[in-house]
Amino acid sequence: MFSSRKSLPSMDAVSFDASLLRKLNQLGPRYTSYPTADRFSEDFGSDDYLQAVANRRDMGARHALSLYMHIPFCETICYYCACNKVASKSLGKAALYLTYLKREISMQAELFQGMNQVEQLHFGGGTPTFLTDLQMTDLLAHLHRNFQFAPDGQGEYSIEVDPRTVTPKRIVTLRRQGFNRLSLGVQDFDPVVQKAVNRVQPEEDTLRIIDAARYAGFRSVSIDLIYGLPKQNVISMAQTLSKVIAAAPDRIAVFSYAHMPHIFKPQRRIADVDLPTPEAKIDMLFLCIKRLTDAGYVYIGMDHFAKPDDDLAIAQRQGRLHRNFQGYSTHAEADLVSCGVSAISAVGASYSQNEKTLDAYYQRLDQHALPIVRGAKLSMDDLLRRLIIQRLMCNFELSLASIEIAYPIKFSEYFSTELTQLELLAADGLLKLDDEWITVTMRGRLLIRNICMVFDRYLALAQSPLRYSKTI
């Protein structure tokens, strides 16, 4: 097996070179997929998706499934948000949406009949807890009627929660409904920053929900933070980190805020003058990595941290880590079936995305058709490059022999241009190259997106590079 030749070194040795980060900080994909979503085509439709499922069945595929449910509703809009969401306080809108969502779930379940064992379920949004207890119970019952779910101890069943919209009692109910992992949006504990992004969330509310999750028996609690928000600085970030470390969540995601008001309308309410400078953002990133690794968290990669005994850290040590549209994942072999407006599925050698507006989503389902609006069929070259990017993003090393065994190529010839580009990055100390391995150094881990971009053949064809965020 060539996936890993050694255990990953301790991430407290991450090398931080501010001048190098400034030099190489550029627009680039986050590689939750390859090809990236901006490469999807409207030439891909429902028939192509049906063929992808049929191909999996013909191959005798019996891998477990990963399900994603998109609940787009939020009571209020956070100004930084780049998600597909609908601001509403009307439960009637959710009731109508659930009628259609359940219809799509039934259609997908019929396609996967006989190979529908689910080991991973994630509810995202929006705010999934916008749904009432009764609505959530009804939706989960519908899922269980249509799919087979692995036992609680084996499956990973997670939900994103806004601590402002739930009570400790609701958290206990979510556990009883079958969720065993909880993800909490925090972003920043500083009241000034919270006001600037229209997300006022008292610290005690968040801590109360974390305590409730532990009382209820959730297997894992994750916290999301963002650096680079308006009014944020190193001092406020340090104070937030101290509070997060004291709360001791199992996983922490620290995302870089990407200010793209030309794409995301809510961000137009954020004044450029209130944003920290690029230098301050780099200082905050360094602070996050140092404080969290000093506190004993493993730096998984990019923006994810986990306790050493968390499943995510264990999967990385064992070479089983995977990256998908929800970030890093422990279920590498699972086909991802996503339901709901704008949701993206990854089945076999294909990606497919649903309609992005509620009206269009409803119209497709009223026509008894899957609500797929675009996607991609992956060529052999796409699959090859996807594998390389996955291994570099997750393992920070690549065995060239493993690629030559899996695909009919000679690596040095097929990727001769890419190897020349990698040599330039090696000269900057980001990686080491030899005849058998590409090994990302501790200095290069912070710039793993830059390294993976070398293997992205679509970047030269990109017509809208401004849709990407900065790599740092």
Joined together, the tokens standing for residue 324 give 């998908």
Same domain, 334 and 399: no
Tell me the residue range of the domain where 92 lies. Answer: 38-339
**pLDDT score for 235:** 96
Segment 263-280, tens digit of pLDDT: 888 999 999 999 999 889
Higher pLDDT, 419 or 5: 419
The band of 2, judged by pLDDT with boundaries at 50, 70 and 90, is very low
**pLDDT score for 8:** 42
Q: How many CB atoms lie within 10 A of CB 431?
A: 26
Segment 304-321, tens digit of pLDDT: 999 999 999 998 898 888
**Cα end-to-end span (Å), the chain:** 33
In-domain check, residue 374: no
Rounded to two decimals, what is the model's pTM?
0.92
Same domain, 466 and 323: no
Pairing of strands 156-161, 181-187: parallel
User: b/e for 113-143, b at 16 or more Cβ within 10 A?
Assistant: eebbbbbbbbbbbbbbbbbeeebbeebbebb
pLDDT mean across residues, the chain: 91
In-domain check, residue 425: yes
Same domain, 68 and 119: yes
In-domain check, residue 113: yes
In-domain check, residue 360: no
Same domain, 328 and 389: no
Q: Taking Cα atoms as reference points, which of 466, 460, 452 lies closest to residue 30?
A: 452
Please determine, for residue 24, whether its predicted confidence score (pLDDT) is greater than 90: no
**pLDDT score for 185:** 92
CB 69 within 8 A of CB 123: yes
Same domain, 304 and 447: no
Segment 232-264, tens digit of pLDDT: 999 999 999 999 999 999 999 999 998 988 888
Same domain, 206 and 126: yes
Domain end (from 310, 339, 368): 339
Same domain, 56 and 155: yes
Q: Please work out, in degrees rounded to the nearest 5, the angle formed at the alpha carbon of residue 210 by the alpha carbons of 207 and 213.
A: 150
Beta bridge partners of 70: 124
Domain end (from 291, 310, 339): 339
The enclosing domain of 85 has a CATH number of 3.80.30.20
Distance CA 97, CA 247 (A): 36
Beta bridge partners of 397: 439
In-domain check, residue 13: no
In-domain check, residue 3: no
- The residues, ordered by sequence, that sit 6+ positions from 19 with a Cβ below 8 Å of its Cβ are none
The enclosing domain of 384 has a CATH number of 1.10.10.920
Helix 358-366 crosses helix 91-111 at what angle (to 10 degrees)? Answer: 50
Domain end (from 283, 313, 339): 339
Same domain, 68 and 116: yes
Same domain, 389 and 308: no
Same domain, 142 and 243: yes
380-384 average pLDDT score: 97
* Distance, C-alpha 170 to centroid of its chain: 25
Distance CA 162, CA 408 (A): 48
**pLDDT score for 7:** 41
Segment 131-166, tens digit of pLDDT: 999 999 999 999 999 999 999 999 999 999 999 999
Same domain, 293 and 392: no
Same domain, 335 and 398: no
Joined together, the tokens standing for residue 205 give 């509310």
Q: What values do phi and psi take at 144, rounded to 5? A: -70, -25
Using a pLDDT cut of 90, give the percent of the chain over it.
74
**pLDDT score for 463:** 57
In-domain check, residue 366: no
Domains in the chain, number: 2
Long-range contacts of 467-471 (CB under 8 A, 24+ apart): 467/38, 467/260, 467/263, 468/27, 468/28, 468/29, 469/27, 469/28, 469/30, 469/256, 469/258, 469/260, 470/25, 470/26, 470/27, 470/28, 470/256, 470/258, 471/24, 471/25, 471/26, 471/27, 471/28, 471/447
Report CA torsion sign: 74, 223, 340, 141: negative
Segment 72-93, tens digit of pLDDT: 999 888 999 888 788 887 788 9
